[in-house]
Structure 1
Amino acid sequence: MDLWRILRRDALRNMQPLMLLAVLAAALNLALLTSLNSALVIMDDPEGLQRLLFIFLLSAFSWRFAQGWMMSAASKRMQAALAILRVDLLRRAVAADLPDAMAVGSSRLAQVAGPELQLLAQAVPTLVISFQSVAAIILCLLYLATLSNAAVLIVLAFLTVGGILITRSVLRLERLSETIHEAEGALSERSDHILQTLRECKLNRRRAANALSDATACAEALRTERHRFGAEYSHYFTLSELTYYAALAGIIFLLPAVSSTDITTVVLAGHAAAFIAYPVITIVASYPSYISAETAARSYLAVEAELKAPPRPAQRRAKDAPPTGFADFATIALDGASYRHPGRDGTGSFTVGPIDLSVERGDVVFVTGHNGAGKSTLIHLLLGLYPAQRGSLTVDGAVVTADTLGSYRDLFSVVFSDNHVTRQLYGAVSLEDGFADELLDLLEMSDKVAVEDRAFTTVDLSQGQKKRLALAAALLERKPVLVLDEWAADQSPYFRRKFYREIIPWMKARGITVIAVTHDDAYFDAADVQIQVEQGGIRRLDTPALPAPDLLPA
């Protein structure tokens, strides 16, 4: 039971008070039953009836108080555990090797950490009420035993037969729930595709028609499975009600036949059996919520397993503290490093390496090559995001190990080609010295954006302007090495020239080591070192001795 594994680990810590409250609520439920049954046998005693009425009202008030307290406490504890689970999953994603995290995918992580975990939050109060209902059933059966042992045996016999039939239905419901979960995922994927490609769909009717047809088929499959689930749940609910009615009929028709029981005992036993109906229906009605929570728990644990990393504890470090460990490096090197991308079904893999590469502090290094040659993999190896499967990553001759990998990564600020710009400057160091304003002026963004309260005032800009903000955010981290992946690709010819002729020299003058993936051959002379990537290998090229002619006037 995956749900039970998660609850034991996170939500059921110190849950004993809730269980005691559940038992207390069940005992008060029994008090209601016994006061009513006692009233049935003393209908001609007004004083006794008044006393029992007081007991009934006091029990009802106490039951309401215990029930409300229990539900509030269950919700509070589960929401606290939910917050821990969400952050824990994010920490695991940060701690995991990048290939593992990318294999899981951001959309799946968001789905598990959001809607699916919310199903757990909704299920726990229901499970607590179910526990209370089970306790109430047990107490009612014990009370029934004080009236007639034969009545207990009759009720248990019908509950056993009904339980067997219900269990078979439950297994079918669980299988259908898994199928529904897969169908929902397929429909969500098709819906996201359509919403993300609305412009393309409007410009290609065939594409739009095919995409909508695929989404319609997925929606129809989901409708069919949900209908089957509804029909099976109706069967499940009907079996539960028939089991209850059969138990009640057994007391009324069988109890007088199998034991010498007076009419009063039959009435009281029948009333006790009827009192079991509400907790039985509560358990039955809560089962779909339990199934959904179990599916969500299974999905959460599967993502945890795929990330293959324990969560890193939150680090408490001063927000303006500089990176440590390798901050005074002179040379970063890959020594015979290689990384293999597995192909589909283990075939058609692509290997980058073995690579021997050294980067000297303060150099400007351009990484060039055709698309698919391995440039991005080379950068990921150099950043320590892909583990070298052979060879090593070194700093000044010292091998970067798992224990020092975090300090090594602290050397780098990066702007990836598919970067996502946030308003919040989470990685920035001090913003009080005017450096942010200097950067915005340099990048010609000060008329559009400002920095206030450690955040950009807006990121609602063009793609090229967002790239400039990403560069500003990276430089505000004040790391010794800056890595840029096709940064200039989205810039205008004017700003592309400014980047190579002004901004790169500006960074070099400040001692920043720049590693840039680029296709702009007109500006290769701006580099100290040019690395050509070809079919997973590299070769070092001589940079042009003279600048290429600029096409724009100075």
Structure 2
Amino acid sequence: MEFLRFLQRESGAIGRRIALVTLLGGAVSGLMVTIILGAASAATAQGESFRYLLLFLIALVAMMTAKRYSLRHTGELTEGIVERLRLRVADKIRRAELLFFESTGPAQFTTLLTKETQTISSTVSMAINASASAVMLLVAFLFIAYLSVPAFLLTLGAMATAVIAYRWSLSTAEPQLQQTLEMEVGFFGLIEHLLDGFKELKVDARKNRDLFDNHLRPLATKVTNLKVETNNSFVTTTLITHSAFYGLLGVIIFLLPRFAQAEGSVVIKISTVILFIFGPMAEVVGVVPYIAKAAVAIRAIETMESKLDDELSHVPTVNFADDPAPLPLREIEVRDLVFSYKNPDGTPGYTVGPLNVTIPLGEVLFIQGGNGGGKSTFLKLLTGLYQPAGGALYLNGHRLQPSQYHRYRNMFSVIFTDFHLFDRLYGLQNVDEDRLNERLQEMELDAKTSYYEGRFSTLNLSTGQRKRLSLIIALLDDKPILVFDEWAADQDPIFRRHFYEVILPELKRQGKTIIAATHDDRYFSAADRVLKMEYGRFVNGAPK
């Protein structure tokens, strides 16, 4: 079974110890039935009664000790599995290329690392407890065989009915569970649109209604209906299993004495055992739906890990333990660079290039062009975030090799239009807080946020303010190359002028190389050179 293989692979030595103790505890629980029945039969014999009492106490202590060990260490096991799983997948995600991340989508990663890992975590503890009950059932069945072979065969028949019902429900439910997972990824994607596009939806009633009524609500209903249908198949399984065991009890009580010449005392013992094991049997049957859901979650995670492994097989191994040694910089040359986005059928779509440009150290270069002209794609190629389909990047006259991309990328501080703002200055040691506070005052953010105990007090800022804070962080990073993708687009005239007439000249005096995508032709004089992009290619330089 897939779930058991996963447990064996991920649990390690502690999992084997828990399994052994749990199985021993289940065996003792099964023996407890025989001790109780034996004590009941010898209730009038003083010596025998004391012996059974002693056995009962020993079995009780052993059973409780095993249960205590199992319960305490199961939590450690399950949380350890989730931790390793999440960190392993997260580590592979951070090593993947940007294009893979964009094509997969954050919603799918989020679903796998939260909901599906939690499904596995909750199922592990239930499955371990159910395994003890399964062993108890086995011991009880062996005792029934000792008492009466016909009764044992009838019990096997009831078990066969339960197993067939289980296999039927599993074969029916697994495709539904897989479909539910895929639908929930889409649902969380719509929730992401709802949250990220809150302002746009708030001002557009038709868009708001269309998203919610025609997409979000129907998909939520489909997910609910599919989950209910899946649950109903497991309900049917539970009813069949319970009916089989109640039928077994009736056969043993009413028919076994007539056809198998069983003594009344034997019938009473067998009936008692069946009633005693009914709770453990319900626990074993009840865990089946959760194991099925966990199996689907495991397959989804393993599928994603397989895709990540395939992606990483084409990516040079990166050692994140050490800071990459800086590469010497005199000039960057983009030579015949070509990049194509893929259509859903895998054919080339929108294409950028061929592109040719040389950027010397210390230059301020502006890239002008309309929306969709390829500026952002060019910046992702220039910074090494996209791998070109043709051509190459050259650093100081030498072709940049795949093994150098990690070091090359670390030369850049980048603010894209869809930038993410972190609440901590990750990667920066010994932050000069006085200098940071000066920058906050310069950008008129000191009354909006502050840096305290290693993090910003709030990121609840306007878009322009968030961009100014991202600029402060980029300046603190002190990288040799800074890339700005329409940074000034959301600034008021004062900060726009401050950016072009104060910040950029300051960076140029420091010897920094600046590449900025911009529409602000009023400030083209701040650049050493202005290039224009149309339809994914450079055209004649724009006038300064």
Deviations 1:3-48 (A, max 9, x none): 4454344334541101111112112202311111102322322442
Q: CA deviation at 1:525?
A: 1.8
SS at match of 1:541: coil
Distance 2:390 2:471 in 1: 32
Q: CA deviation at 1:433?
A: 7.9
Determine the structure 1 residue equivalent to 2:537.
537
Tell me: CA distance 1:404–1:254, structure 2 relative to 1, closer, same or farther (3 Å).
farther
Distance 1:350 1:167 in 2: 49
Distance 2:149 2:405 in 1: 70
Distance 2:367 2:229 in 1: 57
Deviations 1:180-213 (A, max 9, x none): 3344444444444444444444433333333332
Determine the structure 1 residue equivalent to 2:525.
525
Tell me: CA distance 1:24–1:171, structure 2 relative to 1, closer, same or farther (3 Å).
same
Determine the structure 1 residue equivalent to 2:289.
288
Asked whether the 8 Å contact 2:339–2:390 carries over to 1, the reply is yes
- Quick check: 1:239 aligned with 2:240? yes
Distance 1:26 1:2 in 2: 23
Deviations 1:262-307 (A, max 9, x none): 3333332333333332222111111222222222222222332333
Distance 2:2 2:479 in 1: 43
Asked whether the 8 Å contact 1:363–1:513 carries over to 2, the reply is yes
Distance 1:180 1:457 in 2: 39
Tell me: CA distance 1:257–1:313, structure 2 relative to 1, closer, same or farther (3 Å).
farther
Determine the structure 2 residue equivalent to 1:485.
485
Distance 2:312 2:344 in 1: 27
SS at match of 1:461: coil
Asked whether the 8 Å contact 1:331–1:396 carries over to 2, the reply is yes
Deviations 1:349-407 (A, max 9, x none): 11112222222111111111111111111111111111112222221233323322211
Determine the structure 1 residue equivalent to 2:320.
315
Deviations 1:497-524 (A, max 9, x none): 1111111000011111111111111111
Determine the structure 2 residue equivalent to 1:420.
420
Determine the structure 2 residue equivalent to 1:130.
130
Q: CA deviation at 1:60?
A: 2.7
Q: Mean alpha-carbon deviation: is it higher for 474-483 or for 127-136? A: 127-136
Asked whether the 8 Å contact 1:100–1:306 carries over to 2, the reply is no
- Quick check: 1:269 aligned with 2:274? no
Asked whether the 8 Å contact 2:165–2:241 carries over to 1, the reply is no
Q: CA deviation at 1:530?
A: 1.9
Asked whether the 8 Å contact 2:318–2:406 carries over to 1, the reply is no
Determine the structure 1 residue equivalent to 2:146.
146
Q: Mean alpha-carbon deviation: is it higher for 452-461 or for 247-256? A: 247-256
Mapping for residues 125-524 of structure 1, pairs under 5 Å: 125-214=125-214, 215-253=216-254, 255-256=256-257, 259-307=260-308, 308-310=310-312, 315-317=320-322, 323-326=324-327, 328-346=328-346, 349-432=349-432, 434-524=434-524
Q: Which letter maps to 1:417?
A: T
Determine the structure 2 residue equivalent to 1:103.
103
Distance 2:39 2:500 in 1: 94
Runs (5+) with no aligned partner, structure 2: none
Q: CA deviation at 1:540?
A: 5.6
Deviations 1:414-446 (A, max 9, x none): 111111212200032542384434433443434
Q: CA deviation at 1:257?
A: 5.4
Q: Mean alpha-carbon deviation: is it higher for 122-131 or for 216-225? A: 216-225
SS at match of 1:489: helix
SS at match of 2:386: coil
Tell me: CA distance 1:360–1:3, structure 2 relative to 1, closer, same or farther (3 Å).
farther
Distance 1:412 1:4 in 2: 47
Distance 1:202 1:461 in 2: 19
Q: CA deviation at 1:98?
A: 0.8
Asked whether the 8 Å contact 1:530–1:540 carries over to 2, the reply is no
Q: Which letter maps to 1:86?
A: R
Deviations 1:146-195 (A, max 9, x none): 32333322211332233223321222222332343344444444444444
Runs (5+) with no aligned partner, structure 1: 545-554
Asked whether the 8 Å contact 2:30–2:135 carries over to 1, the reply is no
Tell me: CA distance 1:365–1:11, structure 2 relative to 1, closer, same or farther (3 Å).
farther
Asked whether the 8 Å contact 1:367–1:515 carries over to 2, the reply is yes
SS at match of 2:524: helix
Q: Which letter maps to 2:341?
A: H
Distance 1:281 1:12 in 2: 29
Asked whether the 8 Å contact 2:176–2:230 carries over to 1, the reply is yes
Q: CA deviation at 1:541?
A: 1.8
Count of residues paired in the alignment: 539
TM-score where L is the length of structure 2: 0.91
Q: CA deviation at 1:455?
A: 2.7
Q: Mean alpha-carbon deviation: is it higher for 431-440 or for 352-361? A: 431-440
Q: Mean alpha-carbon deviation: is it higher for 303-312 or for 234-243? A: 303-312
Q: Which letter maps to 2:321?
A: R
SS at match of 1:385: coil
Q: Which letter maps to 1:266?
A: V
Asked whether the 8 Å contact 1:159–1:247 carries over to 2, the reply is no
Distance 2:236 2:433 in 1: 71
Determine the structure 1 residue equivalent to 2:113.
113
Q: Which letter maps to 1:289?
A: Y
Determine the structure 2 residue equivalent to 1:70.
70
Q: Which letter maps to 1:496?
A: R
SS at match of 1:533: strand
Determine the structure 2 residue equivalent to 1:547.
none
Determine the structure 2 residue equivalent to 1:549.
none
Q: Which letter maps to 1:354?
A: P
RMSD: 2.6
Q: Which letter maps to 1:226?
A: K
Mapping for residues 19-58 of structure 1, pairs under 5 Å: 19-58=19-58
Q: CA deviation at 1:120?
A: 1.0
Asked whether the 8 Å contact 1:440–1:446 carries over to 2, the reply is yes
Q: CA deviation at 1:76?
A: 0.8
Deviations 1:109-139 (A, max 9, x none): 1221112211111011111122222222222
SS at match of 1:423: coil
